[in-house]
Amino acid sequence: TQLLEQSPQFLSIQEGENLTVYCNSSSVFSSLQWYRQEPGEGPVLLVTVVTGGEVKKLKRLTFQFGDARKDSSLHITAAQPGDTGLYLCAGDEGDTGGFKTIFGAGTRLFVKA
């Protein structure tokens, strides 16, 4: 069974600080997605990365897919209180024959004003 480990599990920072969240696995994924989830709601997609070494930027968020497609990181610059939420990475087995998606346990981010 493929597993995705996210770190840190919890992060509390001041507005304006930078942070990086990590998503690691010993397995190769055909793609990785990052979602953000707020209390009482379903996850909402932020980005999907497909190519090893790929870097994508979404305003103050920068996503990177590891060269070997086993890990990914999310970097937030100048965090704002609106960034507060649960950040989830998810891996797609894809070309291993199925489309089962594995989620990490998430990183809960709290940005204080």
Name the site residues for other proteins (rule: CB under 8 A): 6, 31, 33, 35, 40-45, 48-50, 88, 90, 92, 94, 98-106, 108
Minimum distance, C-beta of residue 79 to other proteins, in the bound complex (Å): 21
Spatial distance between the Cα atoms of 53 and 50, rounded to a whole number of angstroms:
9
Query: Can you give the length of the chain in residues?
Result: 113
28/50 with CB nearer other proteins = 50
67/95 with CB nearer other proteins = 95
Going by C-alpha positions, the residue among 81, 88, 108, 82 that lies closest to residue 36 is 88
Minimum distance, C-beta of residue 81 to other proteins, in the bound complex (Å): 21
Torsion-angle region of 46 (φ positive above 0: left; ψ -120 to 50: alpha; else: beta): alpha
